A and B are shown apart, each in its own frame.
Chain A
Amino acid sequence: MSASYPFGFLNEYAKKEVRRSTLKAVAIPGYQVPYSSREMPMGRGFGTGGLQLTLSLLGKGETLKVIDQGSDDSVNAVNLRSFIEMTCEGINTTTKTDEADFIQSRHRIPETALREDQLIVLQVPYPDPLVVVEPSEDKRKILHGEADYSRLLVKLYEDIVKFDEITISHRYPTRINGHYVIDPSPIPRWDVPKLNQSKALILLGAGREKKIYAVPPYTKAEPLAFEDVPFRVENFSDENGQRRSCQRCGCTSSFLDEFVDSKTGKKVYQCSDSDWCDAQGSASVAEGRTPGATDEYPPTNIEQVVVANG
């Protein structure tokens, strides 16, 4: 192949437009800034919004981590990482959260708390939380401008009436700096509190829907809830009220994926964040504890049964 692309694949005009939109997104926390999402050499819906942000922002000498559902080895992460490595000569990649300057992620925020000098880009399939209650974008833009989320609250209330709790498992509507409500991308509820007063800048990019928005550092991010029905994260307790642990590293404080062991048919649990799991595993070896039963990641004898949407 002899065709040469500029650093970052996108041409400089495309990058400048993404950059200008990103500055406005940071200046107006939670507002979805429209931009002319470019055609990328992969299908829309495969993280092209996050990818365009990364390609427009990343510079030589920076270290990048790409995650898909907590894992650096999932297909989306592998594809995006190798595309970025191919088109951004002079960058480094890592799987370790604390070594990364720049993180692009699909559907998880790392368990390791991010620092001020780090930046995370989240891939967004559906940017507008109001789309479930208002089909017209013109009208949604006015509702957002007026911070009128009454219909969304009614939707949550209907959930409580029907099911005794709010049933949104991921993409939990979250209010940024007391005004705009965002769709924080399909992160689990577990990750929503990490948006609040984050030390790192959080950027969200939707390629198909052509929107960029941001949660600046040290900014209030409140999940929508009611006084008598507060927001809560996933509960990993077993039937005896005991917190389940990761079968691989033994961690009892991380977000767990549920698997079924194909031999025994039993449910097993394992950290969703593979870098976190590795770090816990090596920490337990250093302390002389026995890590979980499986040393390989992902273990080969089990099938994942829970597949998140988006």
Chain B
Amino acid sequence: MLNLDPIWMPDAQQIHFRLLLDAMARPGKCHSLTIAPEEGPAVLTVLATLLDAEVLLADPHTLLRSDDWHMLQVASAVVEQADYVICDGSRAPNFTPKLGTLPSPEQSATLILVVDELGQGDASLRLTGPGIADTESLLIKGLDKQWLEMREDWVCSFPLGVDLILLDGRQITALPRTTKVEML
């Protein structure tokens, strides 16, 4: 009997998807991932929940091992064409992800940024926009400031843009394209 890591199982993926959905619906709120991969990077939990052979993934900072690619069954793409991009948040971006088109803005990338820590750190953000009653504050450790500057450009003409999922190994949070980010 094949002994499979729980992150590949439907029950765990359902739980993790609901965390992702709540994260996307309430930007800046941090959610703890309940099940971590037994081995391999924590970002695998998010990827296992969302990806299959129908989408394209880019891993410009080589955060995944070749075994992980086999398990994900996902096809690899250059970063400008990928539906999902995973990056080390401490390294500045040097690419433009897919921003979608005016008739089809959903054909845009989801960026998954791995940072050192969520909930504390040197970057202090004040968030407003859909999903936030008044304002939400978010502290991040290990995110290059250029990500937020580039994001401003990427999301400036709604409905085009990118959606960010941030992850620190334990927790996730999200910044959809509609969230206004103010750096304090």
Contact = CB atoms under 8 A, between A and B. Distances in A.
Interface string A9-32: 000110111011111111111010
How many of chain A's residues touch chain B, expressed as a range? 35 or more
Nearest to B160: A145
Contacts, number: 105
B35 interface: no
B72 to A, nearest CB: 11
A33 interface: yes
B52 interface: yes
Interface string A50-89: 0000000111100000000000000000000000000000
A142 B21 CA distance: 27
A31 B159 contact: yes
Interface string B13-32: 11101101110111000000
A179 B24 contact: no
A201 B25 contact: yes
A57 B21 contact: yes
A231 interface: no
Contact of B130 (A13, A20, A29): A29
Given A179-B159, A216-B131, A26 B52 contact: no
B132 A27 contact: no
B103 A141 contact: yes
B122 interface: no
Given A16-B50, A28-B106, A141-B103, A23 B20 contact: yes
A28 B160 CA distance: 9
Interface string A38-58: 000000000000000000011
A111 B103 CA distance: 36
How many of chain B's residues touch chain A, expressed as a range? 35 or more
Contacts of B104: 141
A120 B152 CA distance: 32
A21 to B, nearest CB: 7
Contacts of A31: 105-106, 159
A131 to B, nearest CB: 15
Nearest to B104: A141
Contacts of B14: 8, 15, 57-59
Contact of A23 (B102, B132, B163): B163
Interface in B34-77: 49-52, 54-55
A24 B106 contact: yes
A239 to B, nearest CB: 42
Interface of B: 10-11, 13-15, 17-18, 20-22, 24-26, 49-52, 54-55, 101-106, 108, 110, 130-133, 158-159, 163, 176-178
Interface of A: 6-8, 12-13, 15-17, 19-29, 31, 33-34, 57-60, 138, 141-142, 144-146, 177, 179-180, 197, 201, 214, 216-220
22 contacts: A16-B49, A16-B50, A16-B51, A16-B52, A17-B54, A19-B21, A23-B24, A24-B106, A26-B21, A26-B24, A26-B25, A27-B177, A28-B105, A59-B18, A145-B105, A179-B158, A197-B133, A216-B25, A216-B130, A217-B131, A218-B131, A220-B130
Given A19-B49, A201-B21, A220-B130, 18 more contacts: A7-B11, A8-B14, A12-B13, A16-B49, A16-B51, A21-B106, A24-B106, A26-B21, A28-B177, A57-B14, A57-B21, A58-B14, A138-B103, A142-B102, A145-B103, A179-B159, A216-B131, A218-B130
